[in-house]
Amino acid sequence: MPTLSIDRFRKRPEKASFDAHPPLDDRERFVVRTVTWGYALITATQKVALLLFPGTALQIALLLTMGLIGILCWRGGMGIDVRKAMLYLAFGAAAGVTALANNITATTLPSMLFVYAVYSIFIFSVPLSKGAYGKILDNIVLLGAIAAGLVYMDWAVQLVGMEMPSMHSILPEQFRFFNYIYIQPIEWGSPWYKPNGYFFLETSFVSQFTATALVIEICRRQRLLYLAVTASGLLLSFGGTGLALLALSLPVVFFYVRPRLLLIGIMMLPLLFGVALKAGLVDNIETRTGEFSQEGKSGNQRFTKQGEVIAATLMGPTREALVGIGPGRMPQRLNLLWIPATKVLVEYGLFVSVLFWVFYFYSIFGRGVPIFASWVVAMQYLFLNGSFLVPLLSVICVIIAGMYRIEDPEKVASAASRRRAPTRLRRPIRRPADAAPAAETPG
């Protein structure tokens, strides 16, 4: 089994292996284009949902992702990863047993079926060369720069005295994904509103989107233009979760930063601090970091309260700790989104939680995907959102890190051709009766 060493990060192999590559073949170019445009469409429609049941809406992001997977299975060489499928079945079976043990009803059954649907997209993988995957990462950074441009647009519109535009205002109510604060002021009573990037669910999502692009760019190409655009977009979004995602990614980012970039950053710190202080960003960061101990604040709800509930569950009645209270029965609280670790443990119990996390981490990490890509989506999924039954967060994990098997170009071409070849071509070729006999081999 391959080992993970610090030297792997210090030498930045991604620059050589993911950027220096031969031209892509037609299949890989198709995969790169399909993934890029699919991800752009999914991002642009994340506010759109279909109302399935009262209080339950399905983001069309999940349906679009299933369509994307179907196209890649048809023409891109994608197939089912047997090991991931086995883990998915083990987790799903255990979750079903605990649901039956908790007397699943017509009101809780949709939650159970929703879990099966959302996490079915994790079991697929497509073989790609390092160069093809590198192009996908470059395109994700480009999309992050475009999102930063939308943040600039939101500020420009406000500065000229116009109302900040939002896709939310043109969507019919029955097609809106609810339970998110689409437009919110920087602080109570402020005339300025946090940018929402027009298409994004709320400020936190556009800040996380730009932060993800920033982390990928730092760990790969370190192009100053893209670093400046995504970093400024992140700061100007006034989203605390984007900054938190960047902070959570520092343990990995540290091993990829070149000395030149680090020196430039240190030299620019006084200028950046002055600009941030003048724009009110410093006050915003100070306010957000002080929220962990304040009851009802975002930081307290996203981190402190979650730990308290997990501890109470593990220290509470043994039956509830082992098999949970049942799917869809998590107590709902105003302005509180349960992170996956809390929701899975409380609703399904410790046994299912272990199986789920083995399935999740195996699906996201490994198979040649660079650790920084897996790390940044895992941090976003684990700590910054109520991700377990929000399809978009699972989709991000799959598209950025979870649905690839990175191999040498020769192995990729061989595996893809075998998967695409019709069954009849694999049978032995029969020589016609009137064909000339093959020449005999001497001896």
According to the per-residue pLDDT averaged within each range, which of 14-28, 136-150, 342-356 is highest?
136-150
Q: What is the mean pLDDT of the chain?
A: 80
Work out the pLDDT band at 34, boundaries 50, 70, 90: very high
Highest average pLDDT, of 1-5, 58-62, 142-146, 159-163, comes from 142-146
B/e letters for 218-228, b = 16+ CB within 10 Å, e = fewer, are: bbbbbeeebbe
Rounded average pLDDT over 330-339: 74
pLDDT number for residue 9: 43
Note the pLDDT of residue 269. Answer: 62
CB atoms within 10 A of CB 362: 17
**pTM for this prediction:** 0.80
Rounded Cα distance, 392 and 47, in Å = 10
Distance CA 11, CA 7 (A): 6
Q: How far apart are the first and last CA of the chain?
A: 45
Geometric angle at alpha carbon 54, from 52 and 56, rounded to 5°: 55
Q: Does residue 296 have a pLDDT over 60?
A: no
When pLDDT is averaged across residues 351-357 and rounded to a whole number, the result is 93
More confident residue, 53 or 32: 32
Alpha-carbon gap, residue 59 to 54, rounded angstroms: 14
- Cβ-contact 197, 239 below 8 angstroms: no
CA atoms of 189 and 159, how far apart (whole Å): 17
pLDDT in tens, 392-438: 999 999 999 999 999 876 665 555 555 554 444 344 445 555 545 54
The pLDDT value recorded for residue 403 is: 94
Does the pLDDT at position 280 exceed 90?
A: no
How many degrees, rounded to 5, is the angle at CA 401 between CA 399 and CA 404? Answer: 85
Q: Which residues, 6+ apart, have CB-to-CB distance to 279 below 8 Å?
A: 236
d(Cα 211, Cα 242) in Å, to the nearest integer?
5
pLDDT recorded at residue 426: 42
Maximum average pLDDT range among 42-56, 231-245, 256-270: 231-245
Instruction: Work out the burial of residue 65: count CB atoms within 10 Å of its CB; fewer than 13 is exposed, 13-18 middle, 19 or more buried.
Output: buried
